[in-house]
Amino acid sequence: MTVETEPSEIGVDASQHRDDRQSLLRTLLGRPIFWLSGGFLLLVVAASAAASLIAPYGPEVSNFQTLSEGPSLTHLLGTDDLGRDVLSRLLFGGRVTLLGAAEAIVTFVIVGVPFGLMAGYLRPRVDRLVMSAIDVVLSMPVIILLLVVGALFNGNLALMITLGVVASPGIVRVVRAATLAVRSELYVKAAEVVGLSRFQILRRHVLPRVLGPILVQVSVFAAAAVAIESTLGFLGLDVNPPAPSWGSMVAEGATQINQQPWLIVPSGLTIALTVLAIGLLGDTIRDALSRNGAKTPRRTGLRRSRLSNAEATPFEASSSDVVEKSEDAPLLSVRNLSVTLRRELVMIDNVNFDLQKGETLGIVGESGSGKTLTILALLGLLPDGLEVSSGRVAFASEELLTSGTFKSQVRGREIAFVSQDPMSALDPGCTVGNQLREAVRRNLGVGRVEGKARAIELLRLVDLPSPEWVARRFPHELSGGMAQRVCIALALSGGPSLLIADEPTTALDVTVQAEILDLLRSLRERREMSLIIVSHDWGVIADSCDRTLVMYAGEVVELALIEDLFSNPRHPYTEALLAANPHLVTDGPFPSIPGGVPVPEDWPLGCRFEPRCRYAQPDCSISPIQPVAISLTHLARCLHSDSVGEALLRDNH
């Protein structure tokens, strides 16, 4: 087996192999606006915090010999109408204003971010509840509410907490929208399949992705909080005189605007510059975060594989003509599984199959046949609006669909999933080692050190060279083949009994495709796993599977041992798919199936393949077609399966 072994094959310069935090810090430090805004804010906060140490006078000390003076060496910013030092009052007033703004910001984040994450991720009931509460908060008149709170409670704390609460709908909506986008990403689905809890997924995989919008909202609100606190101080609601705040100093300056206009400048200018600096700092951090994006790996072609000589157990369907041959209970049993869109439109219709321990089942069909949707239904990962309307799925004799607790325990530990696009299944913001360690600790309940060691073992198990080096890499630093091996290692973190691979070789070149298929076969033998491989490539199916299930327009049209399916297909669709296999074309025009897979709204009443079938007869369109048992191991959904077999014999002769 040939495996990518050198870092040079990854196509990433050595300068790119750096820690994500160092990269972010380096980006920020390279921006002058970060130094200016951050430095100013740091200076203001530090000066206010150390006011008792650096202020030349007390904030309430009056000197009636120096009333309303301008700046001088004795009083750098002058004095007010009571002879109090303006600089000292500005420093002490900063404590009140900045602390009040901080209280509002903390409330804003604590209330807004968790509820936004829950509304976007735990839909739809939680979403409706949260958004209804948000509508109620938005209907409240903010200014009147703040005035009432200010009249009822002494001090600034109640006002600022109230401000944070009534302003939180803004960040809830932004975080919800960003979470909805991230929630549909494949790496989030992969994290669910691995078995991570909702809290872990939100904390490790969703929150970092929505951090940019959160920072923007927090920076905007922080600036607004400083301005609003100053406004409340101007109205005399934050502190009791003669204690200073920036807003109260503006109010005092306004009363002396004709006698001493300078008094309004220090506090007013400080407020304006602080608000501006907060906004600029938030934008700078957001821009720096947006630059740390992941790169996409290359995609190339496929290959033709050899046929498998494996044997399999028969299909146990609703038809009484098909009898289960094995005495052992199947590992996975699917009965009459149906999926509907918004409880009206049928997308998957009465799918039946069994999977034995140690068996590999292939699912094949054109795009739109329902292959991936069937798998997502088994995993409980159907997109929004789709739901399992009927049927049952038993894993190890335990019901999977109706037991949420059992499903959460099985997913990731007993049933694992490998997607067709490894780069989408890996979180671009986490190193490979961190993602593996997180899955291992969740599924096996081990400590950090043992989890790290186990992650390295998994990378070694999937034949990755230099596993320690790979563990330190981000997904964009890996080739497509290496990323797919990492996804397989991630799927194996819980020691599953069943591994489901959806188009596991589609995004890989021909050499790496062969290696991934060899790896899957090797893992099945070494770990005694069962496999389900979803593919549209007959070469992959023939090379890896014991039995094959052919799907068309949301239903199973044929199920047979791989040898029987290739030598004796009994459904016209299977025959047409085999004839259209590009690997079998030596010369002449490329064979194809006329027409396309109908959408669910246009499914015919009878046989769904009838409009494209060369064997179609009038009776094919009268009523739905039931499966017919060709043998104990062969099932076809066709009224004229004998004609298909006879035509094949004539063509072969």
Contacts of 583 by beta carbon, 8 Å cutoff, 6+ apart: 304, 538, 539
pLDDT band at 45 (very low <50, low <70, confident <90, very high): very high
Which pLDDT belongs to residue 498?
92
What's the whole-number average pLDDT of the chain? 82
pLDDT band at 542 (very low <50, low <70, confident <90, very high): confident
- Residue 407 above 90 pLDDT? no
Has residue 282 been placed in a domain? yes
Condensed to tens digits (0 to 9), the pLDDT of residues 85-103 reads 999 999 999 999 999 999 9
pLDDT band at 405 (very low <50, low <70, confident <90, very high): low
- Residue 320 above 50 pLDDT? no
Which pLDDT belongs to residue 645?
65
Q: Do the Cβ atoms of 357 and 530 come closer than 8 Å? A: yes
Q: Do the Cβ atoms of 577 and 538 come closer than 8 Å? A: yes
Has residue 355 been placed in a domain? no
- Residue 170 above 70 pLDDT? yes
pLDDT band at 551 (very low <50, low <70, confident <90, very high): very high
pLDDT band at 562 (very low <50, low <70, confident <90, very high): very high
pLDDT band at 165 (very low <50, low <70, confident <90, very high): very high
Residue 522 tokens, joined = 């090797």
pLDDT band at 12 (very low <50, low <70, confident <90, very high): very low
100-109, 160-169, 266-275, 284-293: least confident range: 284-293
Condensed to tens digits (0 to 9), the pLDDT of residues 144-158 reads 888 888 888 877 888
Has residue 436 been placed in a domain? no
Long-range contacts, stretch 340-346, CB < 8 angstroms, 24+ apart: 340/386, 340/387, 340/389, 341/385, 341/386, 341/600, 342/385, 343/387, 343/389, 345/600, 345/601, 346/389, 346/554, 346/600, 346/603
Cα 186 from chain centroid (whole Å): 6
Percent of the chain with pLDDT over 90: 30
pLDDT band at 528 (very low <50, low <70, confident <90, very high): confident
Which pLDDT belongs to residue 313?
34
Condensed to tens digits (0 to 9), the pLDDT of residues 322-364 reads 334 444 678 999 999 999 988 889 999 999 999 999 899 999 9
Has residue 220 been placed in a domain? yes
93-107, 227-241, 387-401, 403-417: least confident range: 403-417
For the chain, how many structural domains are there in total?
1
Domain that holds residue 215: 20-290
Which pLDDT belongs to residue 587?
62
Which pLDDT belongs to residue 215?
85
pLDDT band at 403 (very low <50, low <70, confident <90, very high): low
Has residue 393 been placed in a domain? no
Picking from 317, 313, 335, 339, the residue whose alpha carbon sits closest to that of residue 326 is 313
Q: How far is CA 561 from CA 37, 117, 537, 557, in A?
A: 69, 47, 17, 14
For position 215, which CATH number holds?
A: 1.10.3720.10
Condensed to tens digits (0 to 9), the pLDDT of residues 207-242 reads 888 888 888 889 889 999 999 999 888 888 888 888
Has residue 327 been placed in a domain? no
- Residue 293 above 50 pLDDT? no
Has residue 88 been placed in a domain? yes
Has residue 484 been placed in a domain? no
pLDDT band at 413 (very low <50, low <70, confident <90, very high): confident
Verdict on whether the full-model pTM lies above 0.75: no
Condensed to tens digits (0 to 9), the pLDDT of residues 470-487 reads 999 888 888 888 888 898
